[in-house]
Amino acid sequence: MSLEFRAAVLRQPGLAQPYANSHPLHIEEVTVSAPHKGEILVRIAAASLCRSDLSVVTGVRAWPLPIIPGHEASGIVEEVGPGVTSVTPGDHVVLVFQPACGVCPDCVSGQAHLCDPGLQANRSGGLLAGGTRLRQGDVDIHHHMGLSAFAEYAVVSEHSIVPLPRDLPLDVGALFGCAVMCGAGTVLNTGNVRPGDSVTIVGAGGVGSSALLGARLAGAEQIIVVDKEPQRLEFAKKIGATDVVLEGPDPALGPVLDLSHGGTDFAFETAGTVEAFETAYGAVHRGGTVVSVGLVNPETPFSLDVASLVTSAKTVKGSYVGSCNPTVHIPKYVALYQSGKFPVEQLISHHLPLDDINTALDRMANNDAVRQIITP
């Protein structure tokens, strides 16, 4: 049995803006085979647009083509393949972009975000068990991060989902798959910010705003947010930044050091640029911790003054999936949302249909959105 459905297919990265005219994503009919052993057919309820989807469309990060992007989504289980016991049809799930095989040394030691079989499957544009399940005629269509959620349906590994409570709105549920783990998870897990700590967040997009909500949840006393866009700083203030600093035309670092009396305990780089990393690196005091979560263009050269790293005794860390084990952390974050302590719904700025996805790309490229929820 196979199923035909509509999906947003990318064939040619690097097309010019406005995307509403160049249409890098085409809504087309594709076919999916019935779920194999250990796989699940999910009817997508909500998929949100993340900056790394934009990097697929611009070609900054190369993927096998053609591909259906979309890696932050929720849905309802439609059908399960042989051997699946974790969910049954009708269950609500969030899709997780880093599959965790459960048996590799990293998974077994609790570092599911480092699962190497999961990473290799993602890089191949296939599913964890190998190969693609999507096609058009004889042509294989690749999966983005084992998911491909800008579509009416997705077939995914059962290691790429986490069940959600049925009373959780599915548009909010989608956010837990990337924005919440990569933003708040980075602050709570990778950084391990404690009550009373001071924090600088460089970049106030979706992940930066989620990091801000995470810093509030952690009990950070001072939260300074840096961005180049005044309207994003307005939003940051609305959701709990204690101070905001506009980057440019003057550098943001001076005001950050003034506001924090010499630097914060932590700085989180979420903008995905070397410039933002340098601001974050300068924003922490001696002994402070700098965490980078934004995906910088891999071609960008970078140098670090190692002597200053030694004498300032700073710690520099990278964070992937917010160092989260999705099976463990997503239910905790959902419970915190449901009890009102973690208002992640504030990240949703727009709702739109799948047909308008290229307009959503423009909005993200122009920094006019936080999280846009796309409904098939």
Question: Could you list the residues that contact Zn ion (CB under 5 A)?
Answer: 50, 52, 101, 104, 107, 115, 178
Angstrom distance (rounded) from CA 129 to CA 265: 42
* Angle between helices 230-238 and 206-218 in degrees, nearest 10: 30
| Kind plus residue range of the DSSP H or E element containing 119 | helix 116-124
> Least distance in Å: CB of 205 to Zn ion?
11
Helix (H, G, I), strand (E, B) or coil at 107: helix
> Least distance in Å: CB of 314 to Zn ion?
27
Handedness of CA 122, 124, 130, 133 (dihedral sign): positive
Beta-carbon contacts of residue 89 (< 8 Å; ≥ 6 apart) = 77, 78, 79, 80
> Least distance in Å: CB of 159 to Zn ion?
8
In the bound state with Zn ion, the residue whose beta carbon lies nearer, of 112 and 336, is 112
In the bound state with Zn ion, the residue whose beta carbon lies nearer, of 51 and 216, is 51
CA distances from 44 to 69, 80, 156, 355 (A): 13, 15, 11, 15
In the bound state with Zn ion, the residue whose beta carbon lies nearer, of 52 and 264, is 52
In the bound state with Zn ion, the residue whose beta carbon lies nearer, of 66 and 185, is 185
Angstrom distance (rounded) from CA 126 to CA 68: 11
In the bound state with Zn ion, the residue whose beta carbon lies nearer, of 53 and 152, is 53
CA distances from 158 to 86, 163, 226, 334 (A): 8, 10, 38, 20
> Least distance in Å: CB of 91 to Zn ion?
23
> Least distance in Å: CB of 336 to Zn ion?
20
> Least distance in Å: CB of 356 to Zn ion?
19
In the bound state with Zn ion, the residue whose beta carbon lies nearer, of 263 and 272, is 272
CB atoms within 10 A of CB 251: 15
Angstrom distance (rounded) from CA 345 to CA 75: 17
Handedness of CA 376, 171, 223, 310 (dihedral sign): negative
Contact status, residue 35 vs residue 41, Cβ threshold 8 Å: yes
> Least distance in Å: CB of 224 to Zn ion?
24
